Amino acid sequence: MKVDEYKKLVGKPRKKMQQEEYKLHVDFVNHMRTAFPQVLFTHAGKGKGKADGMFKKRMGYRAGTPDLIMWWKVEPSILNKLWSLLGFSVNLIHSGGIEFKAAKGSMSDGQDSFESIFTQYGGNYALCYSKRDAHKALCSWGLVPVHGCGAEVDLRTQQEKVRDSIAAFAPLKKG
């Protein structure tokens, strides 16, 4: 795809932080499809602009919704099986939300509020700055990957990579 075609497709370029979050998000989704195939997940589909945001809110979208919302089945314990036999409904579906942020990103008030409500209802929630953070969050929620975590995506620009490699060989400063 040519650059002009891409620009027509996605519109004006995003800020660098948004680009980093986008790359992180897409990379983790690709990882999740292979490492955690047992998880059902979806992107929240945030609005573009005030008019689109109002339209989506009328349809049920909540401000502060995390980037990924997910659900997975949990194997019932012996106690849960006993409760089911006695006729009690046992919830064996767990949920989670992941908010991706670039290195210096922080959550908005709406996102903090959503996290609070989501966790009060029993959902798991994680703020992640890397694919590894998100992978560890899912593992801490009891999910077992079918394979390990892949390599981290290097989001640095070529100029930053060159600067970092030169800095690695710089003499140590005496303090």
Each residue of 51-89: pLDDT tens digit?
Answer: 877 788 888 888 889 999 999 988 767 777 777 788 776
Tell me the DSSP string of the chain. Answer: --HHHHHHHH-SPPPHHHHHHHHHHHHHHHHHHHH-TT-EEEE----SHHHHHHHHHHTT--TT--SEEEEEE-PPPHHHHHHHHTT-----EEEEEEEE--TT----HHHHHHHHHHHHTT-EEEEESSHHHHHHHHHHTT---SS---PPP----HHHHHHHHHHHTSPPPP-
In-domain check, residue 82: yes
Asked if 96 contacts 70 with a C-beta cutoff of 8 angstroms, the reply is: yes
In-domain check, residue 141: yes
Structural domain range at position 30: 3-168
CATH number at residue 57: 3.40.1350.10
Measured distance CA(158)–CA(164) in Å, rounded: 10
Residue pLDDT, tens place only, 14-45: 576 678 888 888 899 998 898 899 999 998 77
Amino acid of residue 158: Q
In-domain check, residue 175: no
CA 139 to the chain's CA centroid: 14
Percentage of the chain beyond pLDDT 90 is 31
In-domain check, residue 173: no
pLDDT of res. 8: 53
Full-prediction pTM beyond 0.85?
no
Amino acid of residue 54: M
Residue 72: phi and psi, rounded to 5, are -150, 150
In-domain check, residue 55: yes
pLDDT of res. 6: 45
Q: How many domains does the chain have?
A: 1
In-domain check, residue 9: yes
Residue 157 in this model has a pLDDT that exceeds 60: yes
Q: What are the tokens at 99?
A: 């908010």
In-domain check, residue 127: yes
In-domain check, residue 151: yes
